Amino acid sequence: MEQEQSLIKAAQAGDQNAFGQLLNARYDTIYRFALKWCGSVSDAEDITQQACIKLGKGIGQYRGDAAFTTWLYRLVINCAKDWQRTQARHSSDDRESLAVTAYESAALEVGGVTGEETSGHAAEAALYLQQVLQQVSKLGEGFKETLVLVFGEGMNHAEAAEVLGIKESTVSWRIHQVRKHLNLLNAEGGNYE
């Protein structure tokens, strides 16, 4: 952590090597978050690239008033939401097929690297997850990121609240709503579980 602080300082002073190291270390975190968000490998790579570029442009704006991780999550969430907006403008047919694409691309791309068994599991998970996230997005703005931060990144409510710049109670309330909603879906024989 301390080492990272000094990397950040150096990068802010214009040291390209330091920035490269910082990015190298943080890329995986950003990518995994993006993958959880969108469920498709190629989309996640695009989101991550946007986030990296934004980081390159904006590292000077990090002031150290929040933890670097917190600041970074905010940046990545913004990139992910930008991506979402471009998605939203494609036709509804596209959106219907999104989950399928996620399934196929995960099967294809994961399969190549880790073998058949894992691929099936990861692809299925990606498909389920996208369906759940789609339901959650329908609850309103802010729910998806809350869910991904709390369940995907394993943050506690206070940490998620800091990233999102909202009250801890709001995070708790949103998570409660998500639980209630998914429960309801389940009872109606919806597509979760």
Partner 1 sequence: MSDKQADKLASLFDAQQAAPINPDAKQQAINAAMQAFAAAQPHQAAEADAASATGQTNVNHGPLPWWQKIKQRFFQGFASSSRPTDNNNGRRNSMTQQLIWRYGAGATFACVLMLAILIGVKPTDFDDNNIALQPVEIAERGTALSPEKVEADALTEQRGKQQAGENTPPLNPVEIKEQALAENFGASAPATTALQLKKEARFVTESAKRSANAMGVPTISRKPIASLDSVGNSAGITNTDITGTQAPEEGRDDFTRVEENSVKRVVDEPVSTFSIDVDTASYAFVRRQLNHGVLPQKDAVRIEEMINYFDYQYPLPESKRQPFSTQVVVSESPWKPGNQLVHIGIKGYELERKQLPKSNLVFLLDVSGSMNSRDKLPLVKQSMALLLDQLNPQDTVAIAVYAGAAGTVLAPTPAKEKQKILDAMNGLNAGGSTAGAQGIQLAYQLAQTHFDKQAVNRVILATDGDFNVGITNPDELKSYVERKRESGVFLSVLGFGQGNYHDHLMQQLAQNGNGIAAYIDTLSEAQKVLVEEATSSLFPIAKDVKVQVEFNPATVSEYRLIGYETRKLNREDFNNDKVDAGDIGAGHTVTAIYEITPSQSDSKLIDESRYAGNRSQDDNKAQNAQQHEEFGFVKLRYKLPQESTSKLINQAIPAKTSMSEQSPLMQQEIQFATAVAGFAQLLKGGKYLADWTYDDAITLALANRGEDVFGYRNEFVQLIRKAKIAK
Residues that bind partner 1 (CB under 8 A): 11, 14, 16, 19-20, 23-24, 27-28, 31-32, 35-36, 39, 41-42, 45-46, 48-50, 52-61, 82-83, 85-87, 89-90, 106, 109-110, 113-114, 118, 121-122, 125-126, 128-129, 132, 148, 151-152, 154, 178-180, 182-183, 186, 193
| C-alpha of 37 from chain center | 4
Residue 129 or 161: which CB sits closer to partner 1? 129
Residue 3 or 90: which CB sits closer to partner 1? 90
Residue 12 or 70: which CB sits closer to partner 1? 12
Helix and strand element counts for the chain (H, E) = 9, 0
For the CB of residue 5, give the shortest distance to partner 1 in the complex, in Å: 18
DSSP letter for 1, please: -
Which spans in 89-142 are helix H?
Answer: 92-114, 116-138
For the CB of residue 174, give the shortest distance to partner 1 in the complex, in Å: 13
CA distance 135 to 163: 23
For the CB of residue 52, give the shortest distance to partner 1 in the complex, in Å: 4
- 165-185 CB burial, b ≥16 within 10 A, e <16: eeeeeebbebbebbeebbeeb
What type of residue is 59?
Answer: I
For the CB of residue 158, give the shortest distance to partner 1 in the complex, in Å: 18
Q: E-assigned strands of 13-80?
A: none
Residue 3 or 17: which CB sits closer to partner 1? 17
For the CB of residue 60, give the shortest distance to partner 1 in the complex, in Å: 7
Longest dimension (CA), the chain: 57
Backbone angles phi, psi at 50, to 5 degrees: -60, -45
Residue 45 or 168: which CB sits closer to partner 1? 45
